[in-house]
Every structure is written in structure tokens, then in C-alpha cells.
Amino acid sequence: MDILSTIVAYKKIGLQNSSRRGCFRDAISGKDRVSLIAEIKNASPSEGVICDDVDHCEIASVYEYSGASAISVVTEEKFFGGSLDMLREVRFATKLPILRKDFIIDQLQIYESKIAGADAILLIAAILDDEQLRCFREIAEGLGMDVLCEVHDACELERSLRSGARIIGINNRDLRTFSVDIETTLSLRVPNDVVLVSESGIRDAIDVRRLKGTVDAVLVGTAILKADKMADKVRDLSRDRPLLKVCGVQDMETARFCEDIGVDFIGFNFYKESPRYIPPAKAREIIKHLGDGIKTVAVFVPEEDFSIARDFDYIQIHGAKPVIRCGVLEFPLFDLQKGVSGKIDLDSDFPYPCFVAGGLTANDVRYLNVFAVDVARGVETNGKKDLKKIAKFLKNLSL
């Protein structure tokens, strides 16, 4: 082989290696767990300024080492405060696949995305006709990039699939009104062989867990960027385990400990006959010292006054009242009462995310594949919360 042929051969190898073809799709695909696409953006029309004078490279590093599967960079300048320079900076700071998010309406933007280091681009079905969707996707894929085709309704979904889209992003935000509804993702039917991403309105692990089994990935920006500790938020959104509620919390030490180790909910029991009863004033004082990362639940029996629940994130009604009396049901909880043997028979296609409770201990939860578990006496010693048992319970739940 002469020197010219050798140079050309090595150049072809270099181009093949640099294209990273399919790396974005590969990184986020798989409905057995929910991957996280963590977003970097400076502002948005709905939130205003989100990040002012920040180090985008540092944020990218936090995302990578905290468990994100890919990074989205919003480069639109006027309304989102972004730029292609942001994308270039992030490219040098991380090995994770990068999605360029912008309002792409011209072929030139596709080529500049590749040059800037993007592994994938966003195409918004609402602003492109059928020919543009097909043509732009083919150009991007020809350059070795993946395409995330964003839709909001069934019509846009059908058009995108017809254009050959292999990755669909369902935007839970209506770009015309900016209203958000996570049920948008759950209501649209996407073929199983298409990678599905849920975008906008995802706040915490509760939302992620609700989407598991339906989506391959979630795209989250604002909730991470506004968090007190971004690394903790990324880890919270990236983990793959049932949610945990520790019920019957009665003191600040236990509440703080639960928050620190990553418990998702803590419950305060306002039934006066219960050994885990806590006065409402004491419970309110505890929740004043908790952050947004842990949700609080007020637990009642049906005959009690629910007015004190306004300071809590959720209300739990324990007792045999007809479900029809409940105007909005977020999560059903199936509780096997103490002294009762047997099992709860849930069909595998049960359509609602539910909690399972009833005498659970750390040894019971290793193989549970449920949305969430609720534990009280299983993490107690002599009727008091045992911090070591709580930690072991959570550890086993994560195995």
C-alpha cells in the first residue's frame, strides 16, 4: 500500500471512530429501567433565568459522575439563553452522548450541530412538515447522529413514525400554552421497538417510577438545575428501585436521617390511639426543617379532621371507606394487617402505581418489583424507629 492509500485508510478509520454513530440511542434504550437525560439550559420562557453565570463544564461533570446516561444542551439564544459555544464546552467536559436541543428549521443547523460535537439532535414535529422530518432525519443519521423526534399529540406521533423516527420524545408541555401534564406520555401509544423519552414536568423519582415500563428515558432540566444539590438530584432520578415510605416518624432525628439516606416519603400518624401518634404541631415543626427531596404524608383514619393536612405533600386514609368517596386517588396502598396470613393478588397488568405494606422487613424486600413499599414496625426496635434497620431496609431495597 502506498503512502497516499495508507493516509486515506487511517483517515476513514478516524472518521468512523469520531462519528459515535448510535451512541445516544444505545445509551438511553431499554424499558427495564429508566435512563436519565440531564439537561443544561440557562433560561426558559416559563421559568425565566435558571442558571446565571455558571460553569457548564462543571455541571456536565456532575451529571456524568452522578449517573446520567446522556446530556441535553439547549442552544437556542433569545428565549433560552443558550449557544453553540455551550455545546462545545460540554463536549470537551464529558464522554456522555450529547443531545442538541434547539428549534431546528434549516439543514445548516444539522451540520453545525455535528461540527459542535452533538451526538443527537432534536426535531420538533410541530414546526416541521413531513418532508422536512424525513429529510432532516436522513441528513443527521448520514452524519452519524441520532434524532430525537419530539411530539405532543397523536397526530404528531403518527407523522413522526411515518417519517422513520426511531426515537420519540413526548413533550408533556404544550408549547402553545406551556401547560404541563405528565399523563401526556402515558396516553400516547408508541411501538415497543421505538425508543421513547418523556420530556418536561418530571420533578422527582416518583414521576420517574410512574413512567417505568412505558418509557426508555426521561429528560429533566429545571428540577435538577434548581435543586440545592444537583448531584443528589441526579442520583435520585437515576436510581432503579422501588420507592420507600417510612411511616410513623415521631422525631426530628429520624426524619433527618431518612432524608439524608434517600428515603422517598415519611409518614406522620395522626390517629390518637396509635402508638406512633404524633401531635400535629410537632409534625409541622419537623417538616419545616426538611428539604424538597423527601415527601411528607399525613396519615389519618376516616373519622378524623383532615384540615391539618394542608402542610403536607400527601394525605393517606387508612380504613375501609369506599373508594368512590375519594375524588382524586394518587396511589392505592395494599396493607396486609398484623395477624392476618395470606397474600395480595395483583394482576401483572394492574394499571396503577401502588404501595405495598404490612409487616415488611429488610429480608422481605430484596426481590420486590413494585412501585413503592411502606414500612413501620419492620424498622423498629422496642416500638421505636431504629436507624440501622431503616438503612438496612433501604440497602436491601436497592439490591
- Domain architecture of the chain: domains with CATH: 19-238 (3.20.20.70), 243-397 (3.20.20.70)
Catalytic residue among 171, 172, 198, 269: 171
- pLDDT per residue over 346-399, tens digit each? 554 555 677 887 777 777 766 666 778 899 999 999 999 999 999 999 988 876
Give the end-to-end CA distance of the chain in Å, rounded to a whole number: 55
Catalytic residue among 163, 199, 238, 385: 199
52 close to 94: Cβ distance less than 8 angstroms: no
285 tagged catalytic: no
- pLDDT per residue over 89-135, tens digit each? 999 999 999 999 999 999 999 999 999 999 999 999 999 999 999 99
CA dist 261 and 351 (Å) reads 30
Query: HEC states along the chain?
Result: CCHHHHHHHHHHHHHHHHHCCCHHHHHHCCCCCCEEEEEECCEECCCEECCCCCCHHHHHHHHHHHCCCEEEEECCCCCCCCCHHHHHHHHHHCCCCEEEECCCCCHHHHHHHHHHCCCEEEEEHHHCCHHHHHHHHHHHHHCCCEEEEEECCHHHHHHHHHCCCCEEEEECECCCCCCECCHHHHHCCCCCCCEEEEECCCCCHHHHHHHECCECEEEECHHHHCCCCHHHHHHHHHCCCCEEEEECCCCHHHHHHHHHHCCCEEEEECCCCCCCECCHHHHHHHHCCCCCCCEEEEEECCCCCHHHHHHCCEEEECCCCCHHHCCCCCCCEEECCCCCCCCCCCCCCCCCCCEEECCCCCCCCCCCCCCEEEECHHHEECCEECHHHHHHHHHHHCC
User: What pLDDT is recorded for position 245?
Assistant: 93
Catalytic residue among 35, 41, 160, 172: 41
382 tagged catalytic: no
Catalytic residue among 29, 35, 39, 66: 39
- pLDDT per residue over 262-294, tens digit each? 899 999 999 888 999 999 999 999 999 998 779
* 314 has pLDDT over 70: yes
CA dist 30 and 50 (Å) reads 31
101 tagged catalytic: yes
41 tagged catalytic: yes
- In this structure, the number of other CB atoms found within 10 A of the CB of residue 179 comes to 12
9 close to 191: Cβ distance less than 8 angstroms: no
150 tagged catalytic: yes
19 tagged catalytic: no
197 close to 168: Cβ distance less than 8 angstroms: yes
The whole-model pTM stands at 0.76
17 tagged catalytic: no
Catalytic residue among 200, 233, 295, 385: 200
